[in-house]
Structure formats: structure tokens, C-alpha cells
Amino acid sequence: MTTIQEPSRGRQWGSADEFQAFIDDEGVVERDDAMPDAYRNEVFRFIELHANSELMGGLTERDWIPRAPGLRRKIAVLAKTQDEIGHAHLLYMVAADMGVKARTEMIDDLFAGRSRFHNVFHYPAVTWADQVAIAYLVDAAALISQQAVFKQCSYGPYKRILRRIIAEEGFHMRHGEEMLMTFAEGTPIQHAMFQEALDRWWLPALQLFGPDSTPDDELIRWRIKSEPNEVLRDRWVQKYAPLLVGYGFTIPDPDLHVDPVTHRWVIGPIDWSHLRAALANRGPDSARRIGDAARHWADTAWVRDALDLVDEPAA
Amino acid sequence: MISTTQLSDAIRAALSTVDDPEMPGVSIIELGLLESLEVGLDGKVRIGLIPTFSGCPALTAIANDVRMVVERIEAVSTVEVVFLTAPAWSVDRVTGAAEAQLRNGLGIAVERTGRATCPRCGTVTSEQSMFGPTRCRAVHRCQGCGEVVEVMR
């Protein structure tokens, strides 16, 4: 009698060094591969953070559907909400496939405050101008980060989703730029309104990139991130500082200046305590946002139940 | 002076350079958005487009992009872009070239006769959610390799 050996569907590596060599050689890891646990856990955490952030970002956007000025803006906000929630959906599927946590566990952890989402969704968006600042500055920061991950991402399923997310975020940028122009070229009241929003959002957007990367950053070694945080942050500063100054806005950083030799924009020291508090779910708006998200989730349980019934009709 | 036929051809060529704002590399012509093109002897142009889904948020951006490229053509005096409510768009209007670009460039499958296949391995997919990141796309899972697939429907 012969026993039928279930063939392993994925690839295996003999040691951590072999796996690292595969990664260094621009190898792409797939879902069914026997990847080292450290890689699996770290990449999972990264994708979970991204998924959580898309979901929390989508819900933030959603708050503004009824309050967006005019039908065109409402359609744009509605569509962005669908984009973000759709991205979260795709990312949760890819994350769950890694076998670290089930999708329901990720959702439970998020609403119980046990997991993380990006710092920018821990602050209140006070006026419509805040939403514009988020669309213009935060979405740009997110796009720069995502482009850097996409460039050489070693985890195939994530890279293939990122390709489409980036295409859509590019379209969001167009909206953000158009909305910013409305404020920049608008009345003095509009100009002042955006300035106040900028005062609130400059630092959180800047901190989205995180503190300077350490030389032993595993995510860089595993080719998830392609560039250190400080390089990405600087890329964003070099693009947006001159644009905002050009539109007549004041950037809330007294030390901000242009280096006379390199002609590059130089920012002042950053107080990272805000980032640490936000990522520990202790930001100024963390409790309200997590509470709201959990309540929305509970309120829409009937929709999920109804859709399950469609999938599995009663006999 | 160029004929209206030549001008129509020039306009079509210009329109084929306008990509869907959320799907780089896929032109609005290949997606089947162009329904009518009227060119007057005085260079007045009226372009009738049909949206993939009504309420599509990209319509303003598409109309702006269309006006920009068509206005550049010398013989054109005015450009009017209108979104038609009929006929309704369907994936049958998507050309083979666009389908290939969506599959290979972006990893998006196009639903044909009620089914879609995985851009990675070619196996049939099954729907996970009718709601994807955009109105024109659903979320499927490949029954072969397990890939998460977006399907244009």
C-alpha cells in the first residue's frame, strides 16, 4: 500500500540565510511558500497596519459625505470612501491569507484598541479645510510611502494589490490638488481656513513616515520597504514645503529654512511623542474614532448577515 | 483645410491618449466610453461619452482631459463633452487590447459571459464581494492559486 504524500504547494528554504539570499536576489515570496516565521509575522503586521489604516481612513472620509460642499465634492468623497474601504477589504484578505490572524480577529483587535493604524487617523478633522489638508498632504505622504514599498516589495500578493492602490491614490491626489487650489486662490477667509488646517496637519502628515529608520530595519532587509523613512519624509518636504509657501501659506515650523548651499528645505527637530501616543491609540481623537468605527461595525451587522444569506440560500 | 473625416480621425487619435484616471495605460476609447462624435464644418466638436457607472467620480476629470487634448487640434474651434444616459455601458464595450492591459498591467480581470479568470493563473474566479474599491469592480478569489482578484463587471 502506498501512502500518497500531499505535495507541498509552496517553496521551502533550508535556513534563514538561504531565505535572505533569495530575497536579496529579488525573489518574490508567495502565499503558500514556507516563509520564515519572523518574515511572516513582520510582513503580516505591516499589511494589517495598512488595512486598518485604509478602513479608519475610509470611515473618516465617510463622516464628510453629508458635509462636503456641493454635489461634485460629495461624489468625490463618496468615491474615495468606497476606494479606501475597498482597499481595506483587499488588504484584509491578503493579510488573513498569511495565517497569522483571521480577518475577524484583526477587526476585533482594531476595535478593542489592541492593534495599530496610522497616526494621522488619531486626530480630529475640524473643518472641511482639514479634509482638504488630509487629501493634499496626508494622501501624498501615503502615496510616497506606498510607491517606495511597491518598488521592490518581496511579498507578491501585497505588491500586486499595491499596484492598483497606487493608481487610485494618484487619482485622489488630483482631487486634493484641485481642492487645495480652491482654498489657495479663494477669499481671505478661505485662505485663513486652510492655514488653520495646515497648522493642525503639517506635523501629523510629516510624522506619517515614522522616525528615522535604524540600520537593522528588518523591513528594509526583507525588501518590504525600499528606502529609509527619513529619505521618504525628505522627498515629501522637498515637494510640499515650496508649494505651500508658494501659495502664500505659513508652515508651522519656526526652524524651517532653505539651506543656502544645497538649496534644499530643512525642517526643525520633530517631537515624536505625538506619534508614539497616536500609535498607542492615545491620540487626541483615538477613543472617539475607534468607538465610532466599532459602533458602525455593529450597526451594519445585518448587512453582512443578509449578504451571507445570499451566498448560502436556505434549502 | 482638412475634411471633417480627417478631423474626426485626428480627434479619435487624440482621445485614444486619454487614460482612465484610475487605470493608467487604459484609454477611454478602449474602455468603450466614446459613443458619438459630431464634427461641424466650423470646427465645432461635440463628443458623447457614456460613463461606466452613473455617478462615477472620474467624469469631471475625464471631461477635462478630453477637452484639453481635443482643443489642441488646430482645426477645432469649440469642444463640448456630454455624458449620455443611453445606451448603458457594459463590459462588452471593453476592447481586447484594454482587457489585456487591465490583466497584465494592473491585474484586473474583465468579466465575460458571466465569468472571470485569474490574471495570474487563468483559473476561474468566484465572487467574494460585489463591492470593490470602485463601482465598476467586484472582488473575487481565484479558485486555483487563491489570488485576490478585482473584476471589472
How far does the CA of residue B102 sit from the closest CA of chain A (Å)? Answer: 10
Residues B117-136 have a mean pLDDT of: 91
pLDDT given at position B153: 86
Beta-bridge mates of residue B141: B126, B148
Pairing status of strand B78-83 against strand B44-49: parallel
Residues A187-207 have a mean pLDDT of: 97
Beta-bridge mates of residue B48: B36, B82
Among residues A50, A48, A51, A49, the alpha carbon closest in space to that of A99 is found at A48
Residues A6-28 have a mean pLDDT of: 87
- Does A168 contact chain B (CB < 8 Å)? yes
Is residue A4 very low, low, confident or very high in pLDDT (cuts 50, 70, 90)? Answer: very low
CA A201 to chain centre: 16
Q: Name the average pLDDT for chain A.
A: 93
- Does B24 contact chain A (CB < 8 Å)? yes
Asked whether the CA dihedral A102, A167, B100, B20 is positive or negative, the reply is positive
Instruction: Indicate the pTM of the whole model.
Output: 0.91
Is residue B54 very low, low, confident or very high in pLDDT (cuts 50, 70, 90)? Answer: confident
- Does A171 contact chain B (CB < 8 Å)? yes
Mutation target to probe the A interface, by most A beta carbons within 10 A, among B103, B139, B148, B151 is B148
Angstrom distances, CA of residue A93 to CA of A26, A217, A301: 24, 26, 19
User: Residue B84 burial (CB < 10 Å; 0-12/13-18/19+)?
Assistant: middle
Cβ neighbour number for residue A283 with a 10 Å cutoff? 21
On chain A, the residues whose CB falls within 8 A of the CB of B146 are: 31-32, 97
Q: What percent of chain B has pLDDT over 90?
A: 76
Of A163, A171, A174, the CB nearest to B106: A163
Task: Supply angle C-alpha B117, B118, B119, rounded to 5.
Answer: 115
Range list for CATH 3.30.300.130 in chain B: 4-83
* Cα A151 from Cα B45, distance rounded (Å): 42
Cβ-Cβ contacts under 8 Å between A and B: the total is 77
Is residue B61 very low, low, confident or very high in pLDDT (cuts 50, 70, 90)? Answer: confident
Angstrom distances, CA of residue B1 to CA of B10, B44, B47, B55, B74: 14, 14, 21, 40, 11
pLDDT given at position A1: 42
Among residues A38, A35, A27, the alpha carbon closest in space to that of A11 is found at A35
Cβ distance A154 to B123 under 8 Å?
no
ipTM of the assembly? 0.85
Contact check, Cβ <8 Å, B134/A76 = no
Of B23, B106, B129, the CB nearest to A89: B129
CATH code given to domain B4-83: 3.30.300.130
- Does A170 contact chain B (CB < 8 Å)? yes
Q: Is the pLDDT of residue A83 over 70?
A: yes
- Does A164 contact chain B (CB < 8 Å)? yes
Mutation target to probe the B interface, by most B beta carbons within 10 A, among A28, A75, A312 is A75
pLDDT tens per residue, range A156-184: 999 999 999 998 888 888 889 999 999 99
3-class DSSP state for residue A149? helix
Among residues A80, A51, A86, the alpha carbon closest in space to that of A64 is found at A80
On chain A, the residues whose CB falls within 8 A of the CB of B108 are: 164
Residue spans of alpha helices (H) in chain A: 16-24, 37-63, 71-96, 103-111, 128-133, 139-152, 156-184, 188-207, 218-221, 229-246, 273-279, 286-299, 301-311
Mutation target to probe the A interface, by most A beta carbons within 10 A, among B147, B149, B152 is B147
How far does the CA of residue B28 sit from the closest CA of chain A (Å)? Answer: 15
On chain A, the residues whose CB falls within 8 A of the CB of B133 are: 82-87, 89-90, 164-165, 168
* Cα A20 from Cα B19, distance rounded (Å): 39
Residues 6 or more apart in contact with residue A72 via CB below 8 angstroms: B60
3-class DSSP state for residue A18? helix
**Strands, DSSP E only, in chain B?**
19-20, 23-27, 34-39, 44-49, 78-83, 108-110, 125-129, 137-142, 148-152
pLDDT given at position A313: 56
Contact check, Cβ <8 Å, A171/B129 = no
- Does B35 contact chain A (CB < 8 Å)? no
- Does B133 contact chain A (CB < 8 Å)? yes
Residues B76-83 have a mean pLDDT of: 96
- Does B128 contact chain A (CB < 8 Å)? yes
How far does the CA of residue B22 sit from the closest CA of chain A (Å)? Answer: 5
Is residue B130 very low, low, confident or very high in pLDDT (cuts 50, 70, 90)? Answer: confident
* Cα B91 from Cα B81, distance rounded (Å): 22
Residue spans of alpha helices (H) in B46-87: 59-71
On chain A, the residues whose CB falls within 8 A of the CB of B120 are: 160
pLDDT tens per residue, range A33-49: 999 999 999 999 999 99
* Cα A117 from Cα B7, distance rounded (Å): 53
- The torsion angle over the Cα atoms of residues A187, A193, A197 and A198, rounded to 10 degrees, is 40
- Does B95 contact chain A (CB < 8 Å)? no
Closest CA in chain A for residue B131: A86
Residues 6 or more apart in contact with residue B81 via CB below 8 angstroms: B47, B49, B63, B66, B67
* Cα A133 from Cα A180, distance rounded (Å): 8
Contact check, Cβ <8 Å, A97/B146 = yes
pLDDT given at position A311: 67
Residues B97-117 have a mean pLDDT of: 92
pLDDT given at position B2: 77
